[in-house]
Amino acid sequence: MAFRSRRETLRSILSGSACIHPGSVYDAISIRIAEDLGFPLGMFGGSAASLAVLGDADVALITLTELAEQMRRMSRAATLPVLVDADHGYGNALNVRRTVQELETAGAAGLTIEDTLLPAAFGETKAQLISLEEGVGKMKAALDGRSDPSLVIMGRTGAASITSLDDAICRAQAYEAAGVDALFFTGIKSRAELDAIAAATRLPVVLGGAPEELNVLDYLAARRVRIALQGHAPIAAATQAVYDTLKALREGTSPKALKGLASAELTSRVMREADVKARSADVLGLKK
């Protein structure tokens, strides 16, 4: 299977003894840069997807089709394995099953399914969770939806910051029993909370952001944390760079006087120009 090696790489990270930081990716350029810089894994976050594809906030507006198509573009552009934030699976458990099928076909190495109630309920300003029973049903549907057993399915919960740590542990244990490959937590606030999670569960752990006291790789690795996210700074940096460049041009700056632009060498490398020229020579008879 074309994407199996990428999924096996992710599985080797989860079965290893170290904790790694993935590179936040959201399009063909960012994933190629992350791959060239040596990141072992890419993370395609929901907020980055919404901003890159729609220019909208992360409020469950992006569709499964749009997410999968963006993943497909990245899969074509690079071989870096990517973990995809699949939100709530775009509906009920049956929708989750289809979400897994689409993202598997699009080349994802793994994906997360969360138990947050999405879209937000009418009149509610705070995040809510679906029931434990529905969450377990979604995990079972996700596992049933994959045709490649090497595709990684992660059960994700934000219960620690929405209900309680005890609820987060209860949900994690239920998702673990359902058969997911790893557990993804958001909202963990302290070492004591992570210690409790590590003691109560068995699977590899992924953290979706954490306070500074937790950001020590050796400590995280000893608590079975294998992947620790660092937010989505690349798309924020790209947004600022585009804004600054367009603002300067609008205010009359000469293109030749612009600062911070990618060099011709970097642009050529990112677009794989040398590979294109070699193929053109081989199949079009053009000079290298």
Q: Residues annotated as binding site for Mg(2+)?
A: 85
Which residue carries 């937010």 as its tokens? 231
Q: How far is CA 138 from CA 93, 99, 190, 265, in A?
A: 5, 11, 28, 47
Q: Return the bridge partners of 207, or none.
A: 185, 228
- Of 178, 182, 160, which is closest to residue 169 (Cα–Cα)? 160
Residues counted in the chain = 288
- Known binding-site residues equal 47, 85, 156, 232
Give the span between the Cα atoms of 220 and 248, in whole angstroms.
Answer: 43
- Known binding-site residues for substrate equal 47, 156, 232
Give the span between the Cα atoms of 153 and 142, in whole angstroms.
Answer: 7
* Cβ atoms within 10 Å of 225's Cβ, excluding its own: 25
